[in-house]
């Protein structure tokens, strides 16, 4: 009996030992499986796309800038046209204001003529008001005012017409538009170039206000539809590019002035036709119309003056590779002037930062107030940033060539910018109960931040009152949770 008890006890001990070993092995296997799942999750990470947030949390952009006593200035065409005369050549010395070349622009000439007609019509209207206080022939008045409005509308549609690339990052020179648009319809032309057997090697399709197919001309302008416009392409134009000509040109700096002139013409027409009794108030209104017409004529003359290319500083002409008869496009670099009289400084800033400043922004180099000369729209090849050039006082920075100083630029309207709302896609917003969140990325892990929401605009929504130290927002929150490992989508 005792022997059997010892035998059973021995069997129980071995059973317990085997059970413990089994449980240890099972736990080790479960642990390894868990680690593998974590590693798999980390290896097979969800790909996400980020929305970068521009932070405006301090009133100045700050960086280091380098002093240069020798500067090169780009002479840029402010309007398009054909070169009619060259007064200077490479290596010629010039002084500020010297005439370098003349352009012929039918568009600017037509704008001056339209402005003259509008001013003359406004003067005639005032003369009729003062000479005929009663009984003015209504039909004559109606025709006269219709002509004024028509001329104002034509001037409005033809104001500063130019092509813009469909791709805002496009670096190719745009086609040059000339002629006088006479179809009195608002809209746009869309040009798409393609390879063909034409002498220039290409043709283009156009659609929008008119449609058709035309040969690409580089030596002289070719017709663009039947509304009086012509188009000329650069010698080295690219195929498969799209260019947009909007009528009127809402991107032009003189758009609001042209629109105001047209609106004033319509207002004057309505006032004149309501009654043929001329009051002192109406005479005053017509005098204001004449003042505005004079302003518009001066603007037209100013734009025409841009066809006279002059030196902006003293120096020596370089990189002038144009000839008489060549066409130039607005914004194209015509030549360079290398000078030694100015002292300048240059610094490089992120392109997103430059949208908060302008050439009129207050700037400082070594705590001395300076003026901004240029804010480059093309990124520097080496730094991939936008270059900003400052004009310095030679007395303050004499013999400092090549030295580095602190520079800063005051952000325009900082107080409003730092509190402005951010607009994001609805897909970037996560909702839990009554609380709204955004997800952002930190060291490849998802983090979340509570936000408040504003107005909804289609598939976008305003957010505000969130951590301004966040520099990115994940565009699509589906399948995400805080702590999840993700990786960026390759663009």
331 — pLDDT class (breaks 50, 70, 90): confident
**Which residues in 89-228 belong to E strands, given as ranges?**
93-94, 99-104, 164-165, 176-179, 187-195, 202-208, 212-215, 222-224
On the 0-12 / 13-18 / 19+ scale of CB atoms within 10 A, 82 is buried
- The CA distance from 52 to 49, in Å, is 10
Q: Give the position of tokens 């896609």.
A: 425
In the chain, what are the domain boundaries? 61-69+342-410, 72-105+307-338, 161-251, 417-488
Residue-level pLDDT at 285? 80
pLDDT surpasses 70 at 417: no
Mean pLDDT of 432-439: 87
- The CA distance from 122 to 128, in Å, is 10
Q: Which residues contact 411 (CB under 8 A, 6 or more apart)?
A: 56, 58, 59, 60, 61, 356, 357, 361, 417
SS3 352: helix
Mean pLDDT of 238-267: 90
Mean pLDDT of 240-267: 90
Calculate what percentage of the chain has a pLDDT beyond 70: 85
How far is CA 360 from each of CA 178, 346, 363, 370, rounded to the nearest angstrom? 32, 16, 9, 11
Q: How many whole angstroms from its chain centre is CA 431?
A: 34
Q: Does the predicted TM-score (pTM) go above 0.85? A: no
> What mean pLDDT value characterizes the chain?
83
Residue-level pLDDT at 135? 47
Q: At 477, list the tokens.
A: 């929150």
Note the pLDDT tens digit of each residue in 275-318.
Answer: 555 566 677 788 888 888 888 888 888 888 888 999 988 888 98
437 neighbors 449 (Cβ within 8 angstroms):
yes
Note the pLDDT tens digit of each residue in 25-77.
Answer: 777 776 666 555 555 444 456 788 887 776 566 788 899 999 876 667 888 88
SS3 143: helix
**Which residues in 209-319 belong to E strands, given as ranges?**
212-215, 222-224, 229-232, 242-247, 308-310, 315-318
User: In terms of CATH architecture, what is 61-69+342-410?
Assistant: Beta Barrel (2.40)
386 — pLDDT class (breaks 50, 70, 90): confident
Note the pLDDT tens digit of each residue in 11-25.
Answer: 566 767 777 787 787
Indicate the DSSP class of residue 365: E
193 neighbors 150 (Cβ within 8 angstroms):
no
pLDDT surpasses 70 at 416: no
pLDDT surpasses 50 at 325: yes
Q: Give the position of tokens 């060539």.
A: 401
94 neighbors 316 (Cβ within 8 angstroms):
yes
Tell me which CATH code domain 417-488 carries: 2.40.420.20
Mean pLDDT of 136-146: 72
Calculate what percentage of the chain has a pLDDT beyond 90: 26
The candidate with the shortest Cα–Cα distance to 367, out of 393, 341, 401, 402, is 393
Note the pLDDT tens digit of each residue in 452-473.
Answer: 887 776 788 878 777 767 878 8
- The CA distance from 265 to 231, in Å, is 30
Mean pLDDT of 359-371: 91
The listed range with the strongest mean pLDDT (3-12, 92-101, 261-270, 336-345) is: 92-101
- The CA distance from 179 to 426, in Å, is 46
Residue-level pLDDT at 221? 92
Residue-level pLDDT at 43? 47
Lowest mean pLDDT among 133-147, 413-427, 450-464: 133-147
Residue by residue, DSSP assigns 378-444 as EE-TTT-SEEEEEEE-TTTSTT-TT-EEEEEEEPTTHHHHHT--EEEEGGGEEEETTEEEEEEEETT
Note the pLDDT tens digit of each residue in 346-358.
Answer: 999 887 778 778 8
Residue-level pLDDT at 90? 92
Q: Give the position of tokens 């505000």.
A: 464
How far is CA 263 from each of CA 76, 187, 266, 268, 421, rounded to the nearest angstrom? 32, 18, 5, 9, 33
Give the helix/strand (H/E) hosting 108: helix 106-131
SS3 109: helix
Tell me which CATH code domain 72-105+307-338 carries: 2.40.50.100
Mean pLDDT of 112-123: 88
How far is CA 329 from each of CA 175, 216, 229, 235, 313, rounded to the nearest angstrom? 7, 15, 15, 11, 22
409 neighbors 354 (Cβ within 8 angstroms):
no
Give the helix/strand (H/E) hosting 349: strand 343-349
CA dihedral 120, 125, 130, 135 (to 10 degrees): 150
Residue-level pLDDT at 369? 92
- The CA distance from 413 to 422, in Å, is 16
Q: At 212, list the tokens.
A: 């058709």
- The CA distance from 336 to 350, in Å, is 26
Number of H helices and E strands in the chain, helices first, is 7, 31
Q: At 409, list the tokens.
A: 């630029």
Give the burial string for 465-478 (b: 16+ CB within 10 Å, else e).
Answer: ebeeebebbbeebe
Mean pLDDT of 198-205: 92
Strand 486-488 versus strand 46-48 pairing type: parallel
Is cis: bond before 442, omega within 30 of 0? no
């Amino acid at each position: 009996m005792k022997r059997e008890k010892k035998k059973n006890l021995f069997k129980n001990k071995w059973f317990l030992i085997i059970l413990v070993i089994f449980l240890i092995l099972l736990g080790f296997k479960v642990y390894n499986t868990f680690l593998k799942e974590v590693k798999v999750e980390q290896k097979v990470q969800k790909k996400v796309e980020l929305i970068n947030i521009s932070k405006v949390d301090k009133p100045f952009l700050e960086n280091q800038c380098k002093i240069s006593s020798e500067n090169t200035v780009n002479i840029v065409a402010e309007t398009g046209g054909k070169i009619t005369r060259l007064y200077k050549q490479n290596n010629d010395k010039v002084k500020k204001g010297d005439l370098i070349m003349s352009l012929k622009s039918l568009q600017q000439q037509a704008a001056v003529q339209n402005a003259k007609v509008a001013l003359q019509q406004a003067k005639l209207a005032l003369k009729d008001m003062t000479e005929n206080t009663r009984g003015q022939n209504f039909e004559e008045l109606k025709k006269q005012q219709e002509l004024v409005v028509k001329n104002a509308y034509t001037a409005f549609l033809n104001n500063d017409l130019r092509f813009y690339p469909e791709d805002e990052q496009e670096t190719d020179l745009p086609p040059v538009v000339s002629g006088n648009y006479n179809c009195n319809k608002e809209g746009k032309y869309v040009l798409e170039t393609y390879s063909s057997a034409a002498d220039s090697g290409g043709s283009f399709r156009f659609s929008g206000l008119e449609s058709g197919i035309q040969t690409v001309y580089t030596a002289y302008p070719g017709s663009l539809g039947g509304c009086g416009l012509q188009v000329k392409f650069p010698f080295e134009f690219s195929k498969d590019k799209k260019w947009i000509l909007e009528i009127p040109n809402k991107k032009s700096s003189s758009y609001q002035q042209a629109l105001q002139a047209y609106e004033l013409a319509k207002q004057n027409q309505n006032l004149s036709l309501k009654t043929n009794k001329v009051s002192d108030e109406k005479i005053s209104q017509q005098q204001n119309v004449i003042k505005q017409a004079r302003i518009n004529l001066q603007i037209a003359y100013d734009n025409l003056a841009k066809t006279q290319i002059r030196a902006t500083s003293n120096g020596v002409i370089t990189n002038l590779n144009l000839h008489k008869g060549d066409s130039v496009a607005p914004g194209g670099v015509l030549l360079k002037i290398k000078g030694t009289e100015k002292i300048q400084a240059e610094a490089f800033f992120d392109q997103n930062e430059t949208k908060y400043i302008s050439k009129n922004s207050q700037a400082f180099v070594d705590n001395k107030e300076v003026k901004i000369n240029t804010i480059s729209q093309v990124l520097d090849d080496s730094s991939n940033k936008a270059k900003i050039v400052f004009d310095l006082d030679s007395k303050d920075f004499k013999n400092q060539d090549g030295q580095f100083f602190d520079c800063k630029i005051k952000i325009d309207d900082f107080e409003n910018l730092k509190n402005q709302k951010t607009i994001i896609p609805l897909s970037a917003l996560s909702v839990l109960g009554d609380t709204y969140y955004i997800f952002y990325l930190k060291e490849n892990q998802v983090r979340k931040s509570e936000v408040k929401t504003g107005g909804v605009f289609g598939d976008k929504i305003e957010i505000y009152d969130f951590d301004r130290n966040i520099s990115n927002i994940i565009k699509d929150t589906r399948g995400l949770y805080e702590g999840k490992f993700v990786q960026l989508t390759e663009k």
